[in-house]
A and B are shown apart, each in its own frame.
Chain A
Amino acid sequence: MLVLTRKVNQSIIIGDDVEVVVLEVRGEQVRIGIRAPRTVVVHRKEIFDQIQDENRAASETQPEDIPG
């Protein structure tokens, strides 16, 4: 993992077209701004992981368990 330290209003550029900006630091929370092309999907990791986990569980479903 690349670890960088930034101050408020400083940025990080990822690849050619993704910019991550630290907007505000308040207590334990950091407000982050992301500038990226519309083609780049951005999600909070917890939700992404949860959906992925649920997809994996769903992929085990078998026809004989379908009710009706």
Chain B
Amino acid sequence: MTTLASTLTTRFGAIEFIDDDIIHLCGGILGFPDGERFVLVQHKEGSRFRWLQSLDDPKLAFLVVDPAEFFANYAPEITDKLAADLGLNEETPRLVYTIVTIPRGQPEAMTANLAGPIVINLETRKGVQVIIEDPAVGIKHPLGVISQQSAA
């Protein structure tokens, strides 16, 4: 269905979306089990940052990035269980996002949670937050600040 719907959000005011934009996170984000429906909101045109905005709670949104744009060797393992849960086979297109935390007023302290990536089946728009138990994978992995001096 391509009917345009609208929802109010705390950070972005009213946003519009269609059914196909909706992502269903099974079980929600850990710690927030009641909100399973999200849409992606671009931070700024051309930005690597996006928001996963909850459709069930206007205040709930997570800043996310595609970790492949920041970390060359990061690829969360798709376990048999994950593949079965999300209906992923080898060719199924998928999105992987990591949640970014920026302590208030401290952009230089920005970190990505590499131990809790969100994997989304692009065909079904169903996803889940995966827990990676490997202690070498950081929950607060520093994310380089985009240089303010980069060429315009």
Contact = CB atoms under 8 A, between A and B. Distances in A.
A42 B121 CA distance: 22
Given A38-B81, A38-B85, A54-B139, 13 more contacts: A39-B85, A47-B131, A50-B139, A54-B140, A55-B99, A55-B113, A59-B60, A62-B104, A65-B107, A66-B47, A66-B63, A67-B107, A68-B47
A55 B146 contact: no
B96 interface: no
A65 B139 contact: no
A51 interface: yes
A60 interface: yes
Nearest to A43: B131
Interface string A43-58: 1100110111111111
B72 interface: no
B49 A60 contact: no
B116 A38 contact: no
Interface string B140-152: 1000011110100
A61 interface: yes
Contact of A61 (B84, B102, B116, B133): B102
Interface in A14-68: 38-39, 41, 43-44, 47-48, 50-63, 65-68
B81 A58 contact: no
Contacts of B61: 59
Interface centre among A38, A44, A58, A68 (most CB of B within 10 A): A58
Contact of B116 (A44, A55, A62): A55
A47 to B, nearest CB: 5
B30 A58 contact: no
B62 interface: yes
Given A50-B139, A55-B99, A63 B11 contact: yes
B115 A47 contact: yes
A61 B107 contact: no
A52 B148 contact: no
Contacts of B63: 58, 61, 66
